[in-house]
A and B are shown apart, each in its own frame.
Chain A
Amino acid sequence: MNTPARLREIRLPGVQLSGAATVAMLVAAVVVNSALQPNFWNSYALTSNFATFVPLVAIAVGQTVVVLSGGLDLSLGAQVTLASVVAVQIVDGQLDRFPLAAAAALGVGLACGALNGLVVALLRLQPIVATFATSFVFSGLALVVLPTPGGSVPLEVTTAYRDAVLGVPIALLAILVLALLWWVLRRHRLLRHIYAVGGDADAAYASLVPVTRTRVWAYVLGGLFAALSALAILANTGSGDPFVGNELTLASVAAVVIGGTALAGGRGGAGGSILGAIVLALVTNIVFFADVPTTYRQLVNGAVIILALALAGIPALQKRRPTA
């Protein structure tokens, strides 16, 4: 051991929260929220809360994959928008066209992801600004597809999204499906390569990992999860809007970090991001139900989020590397 642990850690600019810290935050948020909101556990509140979480959860999973690969996708929100307007134009209120619309949304996510992958991995543009640029392309296209808000999602879809089976909200099941998807991906060679590329691209390249292809795939997966987020949004909103997803982008990054994934890449996972997204949404609820005066609500909200992020700085909660 030539390097003391303290020095080795400085190498990692994006610190990560341990799983324990994220879970602790979630538990705290749930406890506080249910204390402040008397009907927190009744069925409407439960289903409506979960219905609120899904879009951010889905996009956060997508962002996690991209971040793990060492990138960042600032166009995910615009992809959500584009996928949702395409789907809503196709479905046109008819249930039998929903599968086609869903497939189209996934196709859009795939295509957007592929474009980002091309731009970041093949052209080697810096991800933050490159995806900032593609976000203009996607939101512009969304306006072309749906110039003004409109279109409708079949009632069956919006109703089912708000339903529960055996007391379990469908939206919660949707979150579990996202978690399951992640669990499956995690077992695939591609995800291993994504971790390797995000951890050390040069080393991965020298170790026979197809770095460029892996990076492209990371963005494609990001796009696919953005498309899932778009479907959740459609079920949640019942209609199309050419601006609907744009502001999810930055929140997805916050969810990823609260969930313990290092922005530097290579460390973390979507499990934490799912919890992180839920924590973020719950904080908004808490600030509301705590009757914080409107004027101060955004201030408190921002401060609580910074505080949550600051938990990363508490060494006891940090995942320490064993020292050799």
Chain B
Amino acid sequence: SSNDGGGSGGSSGAADGKPYTIGLSNGFVGSEWRTQMVKGVEAAFAEYKKEGVVDELVVESADTDVNGQIQQIRNLINRDVDAIIVNPNSETALDAVFREATQQGVKVFAIDQAVTSKDVTNVVIDQAEWARISADWLAKQVGKGGNIAVVNGVAGHPANEMRWNAAKDVFAKAGVKVLTVADGNWDQATGQQVMTNLLATYPDLDGVWSQDGMAEGVFRAVQAAGRVNQIKISGEARVGFMRLWNEARADDFESIGVVNPPGGAVSALHVAVNVLEGKKFAPGKINGNTATIPIPYTVDETNFDRYWGEAGGEGNAYSLDGSLTRDEAAEYFQ
């Protein structure tokens, strides 16, 4: 790795730059999903370390805004990391600091949501696809002419917009009527309060579609209104929701949970190591600068018992997970 007097590579001894120092920048800790993400990277990193591929994982993880995340990334650059894995607080506003990183010879990988910068390799699931799967399911459940409400995340947030635009299309095509769209801020308690309000003012609901992190709250609100049997709820692959789902299954409740994997960060780590080792992406595996990783799986009625059996012992906040194996990651490269 290059070093123009302050940039990267200071800690790498060997000729090919090994062992690598990796930085992880996470700008939001108020979510168990992010904790799981960090822990996953730490575990995978330990494997590489044993093999002498990497030496140090520098984690920057705190509640901060875009400006704070820029500072995080600059600190990582000043710490001479070889690559940075970043869960970005903004789709665009980190562009300039990513360019700085590239100029300092640091490779950057964005996870969870894609960024626009060409200096960055996005290693992400297709958020639109993720939304489409559950939207399809709900559309089928309520049928043409069905009335639904939507509990979204934060208006204007890129992941939110990407997901909602995809789902909106699905509902339009299927002839499902979206009566209202509310914001639940990806927050359980808010989601519950919002849904309670919607239930009172929209008595004709047939279904509700919500983004992840709120299905548990939505369910509790519907349950409190005594309408679990009338209203179809698109769920999520998290233990808290699945516990409720499991209990309600006795009363023929059905739902769906599409995995949004915190382990995407692990996939990105594998990709990063390959890139640092000088490998080039295989043709077709990368679209522009985005390497799309598959959505691991979807929990539904057919496979519920299996996944509940595997994950039921975890805490409520646990997200069902999945990541590329090292071999699968290697397939992305020539």
User: A residues engaging B (CB < 8 A)?
Assistant: 37, 39-40, 42-45, 48-49, 51-52, 55-56, 143, 147-153, 158, 162, 233, 235-248, 281, 284-285, 288-289, 294, 297-298, 301
Contacts and interface: CB of A to CB of B under 8 A. Distances in A.
Most A CB atoms within 10 A — which of B90, B93, B116? B93
A162 B99 CA distance: 11
B93 A237 contact: yes
Contacts of A49: 74
B5 A238 contact: no
B274 interface: no
B97 A44 contact: no
A52 B71 contact: yes
A10 to B, nearest CB: 36
B168 interface: no
B300 interface: no
B78 A244 contact: no
Q: Which 4 A-B pairs have the closest CB atoms?
A: A238-B96, A239-B92, A247-B65, A241-B93
A37 B70 contact: no
Contact of B65 (A42, A235, A246): A246
Given A44-B7, A44-B104, A237 B66 contact: yes
Contacts of A239: 90, 92-93, 95-96, 116
Contacts of A147: 156, 161
Contacts of A43: 5-6
Interface of B: 4-7, 10, 29, 38, 59-68, 70-72, 74-75, 77-80, 90-97, 99-100, 104, 116, 155-158, 161
A146 B176 CA distance: 29
Given A158-B96, A244-B67, A294-B59, A39 B90 contact: no
A289 B90 contact: no
29 contacts: A42-B6, A44-B7, A55-B67, A148-B156, A149-B116, A150-B91, A152-B92, A152-B95, A233-B66, A236-B67, A237-B92, A237-B94, A237-B95, A237-B96, A238-B92, A239-B95, A240-B92, A243-B65, A243-B66, A243-B156, A243-B157, A244-B65, A244-B90, A244-B93, A247-B67, A288-B72, A288-B79, A289-B75, A297-B61
Contacts of B90: 149, 237, 239, 241, 243-244
B65 A240 contact: no
B70 A288 contact: no
Nearest to A144: B156
Given A39-B6, A239-B96, A244-B65, 18 more contacts: A39-B78, A43-B5, A44-B77, A49-B74, A147-B156, A151-B92, A162-B100, A237-B95, A237-B96, A238-B92, A238-B96, A243-B66, A243-B90, A244-B93, A248-B65, A281-B71, A285-B71, A289-B75
Nearest to A42: B6
Given A37-B78, A148-B156, A237-B94, A48 B100 contact: yes
